């Protein structure tokens, strides 16, 4: 019992020095990765819509829209940057909570830190603790929350944003309880929005609402003391099988940021095992001739059908949520980077023809992101793959150099190349940065340095 209070106490009392070095270093990977996808997201159509909205709303210029060099207030910067960080669907994943924590936590904490001229240590501490709060509430809610149709990144992300910003505001334990309460009562976001601009809007709104929650709590605004575990609280309302004990189990010892998975493909995580398997089959085949292929059979877990089973994608964004397209893409072209998810590419005749040969079947015995693949040829030859864990998960990890390459490939067309190198170095040694405005300034686009 008292999970909300005990979590709030942990969040308010934990210091930078209390957090193990290994946890801090892994958090830097998350921050680098999230910042990279945010900068790259600034090139998308949605970015211009949101920037125009922010400028129309006006307000105090205190935080920067990343990749645009436009200043706005903390609330709107959190909204826009949160959306940009998720628009490519190329951001990190925390499988146990079924969320993308970094996109909810980094944008609002960075906006607040910039406005208050805080340090890299301040940001690292707030980011890690915000991540921890989100991940633990997500694990307590379990997959039944997602099964109901909620976009758990959106709903549960409110807790991460409020906790992270609350840490930067030095909330007391009692104030943190109120911030979490306000986060819980604002939680929203449904999976029906997948494949539209509203999906990335979700973490933007979670970040914005988290800022509201933390700032109001700092001013004395109140909420219930048991929003997570209480009668009529978040877990009871949003989950069919709540496990509140996961909020506190190993708290302060088993930091959840270490369970982060990073994306090496620019599509929904539920497609990645299929992509990995198809790429290795392509290597074995040597030459791919669509006419020689009879059928591609996929055995996939339930989450793939919930999140990434659009059978006939039309836009590049829809392609990211189509395991059928991703399977065809990986086999035919051997890659699934951001440039492979455009309207032109998704409608390429060869890819459409191969996509139509992909058949997907539910296998409930498979793990969350597992995949079994069979490619049947017309000459009766078959190719089989069974991918247990996609590249980038803790069991099949990436390293700093690989994420650095991803960062550079995503950002070099947005910000000056010399700035790309400097951002990587500053995040690698983030604890030495005394004013986070140094990093934000390097994220201005070409022509606005």
pLDDT score of 400: 87
Pair 351, 432 in one domain: no
List, edge to edge, every strand of the sheet that includes 293-300: 358-362, 293-300, 371-377, 382-387
CA gap 154, 194 in Å, rounded? 12
What stretch of H or E contains 64? strand 63-65
For the domain that residue 148 is a member of, what is the CATH number?
1.10.4100.10
Strand, helix or coil for residue 391: coil
* Domain identity same for 418 and 319: no
Alpha helices (H) in 116-243, listed in sequence order: 120-141, 143-147, 152-168, 173-186, 198-218, 234-238
Confidence of residue 447 (pLDDT cuts 50, 70, 90): low
Asked which of 387, 408, 431 is the last residue of a domain, the reply is: 387
Tokens 């000056």, located at residue: 416
Alpha-carbon gap, residue 107 to 78, rounded angstroms: 5
What band does 12 get if pLDDT is binned at 50, 70 and 90? very high
* Predicted pLDDT of residue 328: 98
Distance of alpha carbon 332 from alpha carbon 82, whole angstroms? 33
Q: Are residues 251 and 274 in the same domain?
A: no
Contact 135, 81 (CB under 8 A): no
Does one domain contain both 20 and 127?
yes
Q: Judge whether residue 20 has pLDDT over 90.
A: yes
Contact 387, 271 (CB under 8 A): no
CA 90 to chain centroid: 7
> What gap in Å lies between CA 3 and CA 239, rounded to an integer?
16
Nearest to 12 by CA among 177, 242, 228: 177
pLDDT of 195 reads 86
368 CB contacts (<8 Å, ≥6 apart)? 95, 301, 303
CA distance 33 to 22: 17
Residue 172 DSSP code: -
* Structure tokens given for 320: 């990211």
Q: What are the b/e assignments for 352-373, b being 16+ CB within 10 Å?
A: eebbebbebeeeeebebbbbbb
CA distance 441 to 317: 29
Q: Are residues 278 and 345 in the same domain?
A: yes
The separation between CA 442 and the C-alpha centre of its own chain, rounded to angstroms, equals: 22
* Cβ atoms 258, 26 nearer than 8 A: yes
| Proportion of the chain above pLDDT 70, given as a percent | 99
Considering the domain architecture, whether residues 219 and 357 belong to the same structural domain is answered as no
**Hunting for tokens 């790429």 — which residue is that?**
279
352 and 249 in a common domain:
no
Q: 142 — alpha (psi -120 to 50), left (phi > 0) or beta?
A: left
Shared domain for 110 and 212, answered yes or no, is yes
In this structure, what CATH number is given to the domain that contains residue 332? 3.30.1330.120
Count of CB atoms situated within 10 Å of the CB of 281: 20
Same domain, 51 and 155: yes
pLDDT at 403: 94
pLDDT single digits (tens) 301-320: 999 999 999 999 999 989 99
On whether both 381 and 429 belong to a single domain, the answer is no
Report how far apart, in Å, the C-alpha atoms of 159 and of each of 1, 37, 188, 197 are. 18, 22, 12, 22
* Same-domain check for residues 168 and 108: yes
Tell me whether residue 447 is in a domain: no
The verdict on residue 151 lying in a domain is yes
- Beta bridge pairs of residue 293: 377
pLDDT tens digits for 48-103? 999 999 999 998 999 999 999 999 999 999 999 999 999 999 999 999 999 999 99
Using DSSP's 3-state secondary structure scheme, residue 378 falls into coil
- Give the CA distances from residue 358 to residues 299, 326, 354, 385, in Å, rounded to whole numbers and listed in that order: 11, 10, 7, 15
Per-residue pLDDT tens for 215-237? Answer: 999 999 999 999 999 999 999 99
Is 342 inside a domain boundary?
Answer: yes
Identify whether 449 is part of a domain: no
Q: Are strands 293-300 and 371-377 parallel, antiparallel or unpaired?
A: antiparallel
Q: Give the mean pLDDT of the chain.
A: 96
Please state the domain count of the chain: 2
Q: Express as a percent the part of the chain with pLDDT over 90.
A: 95
Q: Range of 59's domain? A: 3-264+396-442
Residue count of the chain: 449
Domain-embedded: residue 372 = yes
Q: Which residues face 302 on adjacent strands? A: none
pLDDT per residue as tens digits for the range 425-435: 999 999 999 99
Q: Report the alpha-carbon distance of residue 23 to residue 387 in Å, rounded.
A: 28
Three-state secondary structure call for residue 359? strand
Any domain includes 448: no
Pairing of strands 293-300, 382-387: unpaired
Dihedral sign, Cα of residue 100, residue 102, residue 107, residue 112: positive
Answer yes or no: is 173 within a domain: yes
Is 196 part of any domain?
yes
pLDDT band at 360 (very low <50, low <70, confident <90, very high): very high
Spatial distance between the Cα atoms of 106 and 440, rounded to a whole number of angstroms: 12
pLDDT in tens, 183-221: 999 999 999 999 899 999 999 999 999 999 999 999 999
CB 132 within 8 A of CB 102: no
Q: Kindly state whether residues 167 and 311 are assigned to the same domain.
A: no
**Angstrom distance (rounded) from CA 254 to CA 190:** 30
Whole-angstrom distance, CA of residue 180 vs CA of residue 8? 8
Question: What average pLDDT does range 169-182 have in this prediction?
Answer: 99
d(CA 235, CA 140) in angstroms, rounded, equals 7
pLDDT value at position 67? 97
């Amino acid at each position: 019992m008292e999970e909300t209070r005990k979590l709030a106490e942990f969040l308010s009392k934990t210091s930078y020095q209390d957090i193990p070095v290994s946890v801090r270093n892994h958090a830097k990977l998350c921050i680098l990765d999230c910042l990279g996808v945010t900068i790259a997201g600034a090139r998308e159509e949605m970015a211009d819509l949101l920037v125009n909205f922010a400028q129309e709303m006006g307000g105090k210029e205190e935080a920067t829209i990343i990749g645009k060099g436009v200043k706005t207030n903390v609330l709107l910067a959190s909204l826009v940057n949160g959306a940009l960080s998720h628009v490519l669907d190329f951001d990190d994943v925390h499988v146990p909570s079924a969320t993308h924590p970094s996109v909810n936590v980094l944008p609002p904490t960075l906006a607040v830190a910039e406005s208050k001229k805080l340090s890299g240590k301040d940001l690292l501490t707030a980011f890690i603790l915000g991540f921890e709060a989100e991940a633990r509430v997500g694990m307590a809610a379990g997959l039944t929350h997602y099964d109901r149709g909620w976009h758990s990144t959106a709903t549960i992300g409110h807790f991460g944003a409020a906790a992270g910003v609350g840490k930067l505001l030095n909330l007391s334990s009692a104030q943190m309880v109120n911030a979490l309460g306000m986060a819980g009562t604002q939680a929203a976001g449904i999976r029906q929005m997948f494949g539209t601009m509203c999906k990335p809007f979700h973490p933007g709104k979670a970040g914005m609402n988290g800022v509201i929650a933390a700032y109001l709590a700092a001013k004395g605004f109140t909420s219930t003391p048991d929003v997570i575990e209480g009668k009529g609280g978040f877990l009871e309302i949003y989950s069919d099988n709540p496990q509140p004990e996961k909020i506190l189990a190993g708290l302060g010892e088993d930091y959840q940021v270490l369970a982060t998975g990073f994306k090496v493909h620019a599509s929904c995580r539920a497609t990645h095992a299929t992509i990995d398997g198809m790429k290795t089959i392509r290597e074995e085949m040597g030459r791919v001739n669509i006419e020689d292929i009879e059928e591609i059979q996929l055995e996939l877990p339930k989450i793939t059908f919930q999140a990434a089973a659009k059978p006939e994608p039309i836009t590049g964004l829809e392609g990211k949520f189509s395991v059928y397209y991703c399977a065809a893409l990986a086999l035919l072209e051997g890659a699934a980077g951001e440039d492979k998810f455009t309207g032109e590419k998704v409608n390429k005749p060869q890819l459409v023809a191969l996509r139509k040969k992909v058949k997907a079947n539910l296998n409930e015995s498979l793990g969350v992101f597992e995949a079994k693949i069979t490619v049947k040829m017309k000459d009766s030859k078959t190719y089989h793959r069974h991918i247990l864990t996609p590249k980038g998960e803790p069991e099949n990890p990436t390293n700093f150099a690989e994420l650095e390459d991803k960062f550079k490939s995503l950002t070099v067309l947005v910000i000056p190349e010399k700035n790309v190198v400097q951002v990587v170095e500053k995040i690698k040694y983030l604890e030495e940065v005394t004013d986070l405005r140094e990093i934000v300034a390097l994220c201005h686009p070409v022509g606005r340095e």
